[in-house]
Amino acid sequence: MRLFYILIIFIFGIAEANALSTYADIVEELMPSVVNISTKKEVVEENEGIDNVMLNKELDSRESLGSGFFISSDGYILTNYHVIKGAKEVNVITNDNSLYTSKVIGTDKSSDLAVLKITPEDSSKSFASVKFGNADKSRIGDIVLTFGNPYGLGVSVSQGIISAKSRNIGLGEQQYLQTDASINQGNSGGPMFNIDGEVIGVNSAIFTTIGADGVGFSLPSNMANWVASQLIKNGKVKRGWLGLSVSHGIDKYTNKEGFVITEINEESNAYKEGLRVGDIITHYNDKPAGDLSDFIQLTETMDIGQAIRLKAISYGEEFKYVVRVQEMPKEELKGITNKALQESIAKSNQTGDDVFYVSELGITIKEASPRGIMIIKMDRLSPLKNKGIVVGDIILEIDRGDIYSVDNLLDGIRNAIVDDFRPISLLVQNQTNVFYASITLEPEND
């Protein structure tokens, strides 16, 4: 009997090893869902996108090659927006080498996605479409298969793993899956499958610095599926909008962490419900405010008019809010961003007399743009040093009061000194974050 069990274990071990030794069956099943895309563009532009461009400079137009995949059996195709950007004609070649001229159903620059539609002459013909998986459930180390049209050679497949999740690669606010599976030029718009044959990403970018082979990025399937549905239904993407900008922060009264509101639109429902700049959102829909990208994605993908429940702290007191999501306006609210920092850095490098030394804080400052004051020099014993504040940071508020000039900062310091040198609270913007810092003023600095 013992020998029998040993043989059973041995046989199952061999079967499992054989199952992992080839992906031929799953590749054969999935290959018909992937297409090649070629476009003819009217104008030659430099550094237009991430994807490969095959260019004949003797011609007035050019041909760009990319990838895509069927998301429905009646001919809807998902690809990257930059693959078809500026195209006067978009052609699709299916796995059986059939050529179709497609119609652009809709595009979305924010997610870099586009939906195409092809219509076969035979109305009874259907296409092999993919099934979307849940990218949120994928794990670092999971095996993935990437399909695409590298260098215009035709559909091919590569195998690798998910190397990282929630990567921000500078393409807006989107978070990406990172993989070591080959995503070469021309693969943009192709699908990334898990080993269950579900799409968990859309191949979108490659890291092209010399020596960076094996670093590719895919937009997670959850966002891709939502955008595709919006484009098919509306021809555009209707994003939800709360009318506020947030970053990670800590309430100085309770030391509770959450999302600090750094900007709020007075026409938004959030403002009308009572939320204000400086409030700390600690929960949304009963979920702790921890992952900022999750919060942004949730609000953007909510239906217009749908309600979101918020818990927020204002001056140490907790309040509950129910806010109806609005449609994001074309010119969405711009918070204090790195652009403002760069403008202020440029301004600080100019010559002029608008430089001030604040002895209480041991810093030399200049007024920033569009608001705040920028630190251009810091004393060795400045009380700001052990608070993570460095030269180049911008102080936006003092004790919940906006700073638009040096006088605003000095008035706040004077008020704290008169009040027995009580600590002051500063809202600070650095290159990656907005945070509160509590600073103790020393009498000898007066």
Of the candidates 365, 407, 399, the residue with the CA atom closest to the CA atom of residue 382: 365
Catalytic residue among 38, 51, 67, 82: 82
Query: Is there a catalytic annotation at residue 279?
Result: no
Instruction: Compute the distance between CA of residue 188 and CA of residue 181 in angstroms, rounded to an integer.
Output: 13
Measured over the CA atoms of residue 155, residue 159, residue 160 and residue 164, the dihedral's sign is: positive
Query: Is there a catalytic annotation at residue 188?
Result: yes
Instruction: Compute the distance between CA of residue 147 and CA of residue 27 in angstroms, rounded to an integer.
Output: 9
Instruction: Compute the distance between CA of residue 412 and CA of residue 426 in angstroms, rounded to an integer.
Output: 10
Residues ≥6 apart with Cβ < 8 Å to 176 = 166, 167, 168, 169, 201, 204, 205, 217, 218, 219, 220
Catalytic residue among 64, 67, 112, 245: 112
By the 10 Å C-beta count (0-12 exposed, 13-18 middle, 19+ buried), 175 is classed as buried
Q: Which helix (H) or strand (E) covers residue 259, if one does?
A: strand 257-264
CB 241 within 8 A of CB 326: yes
Helix or strand or coil: residue 419?
coil
- Which amino acid type is present at position 113? L
Catalytic residue among 188, 204, 245, 344: 188
C-alpha triplet 4, 5, 11: angle, nearest 5°: 90
Which contacts (CB < 8 Å, 24+ apart) does range 409-418 have? 409/358, 409/365, 409/373, 410/358, 413/358, 413/360, 413/361, 413/441, 416/441, 417/360, 417/441, 417/446
> Phi, psi at residue 339, to the nearest 5°?
-60, -40
> Phi, psi at residue 376, to the nearest 5°?
-110, -10
Query: Is there a catalytic annotation at residue 112?
Result: yes
End-to-end C-alpha distance for the chain, whole angstroms: 89
> Annotated catalytic sites, by residue?
82, 112, 188
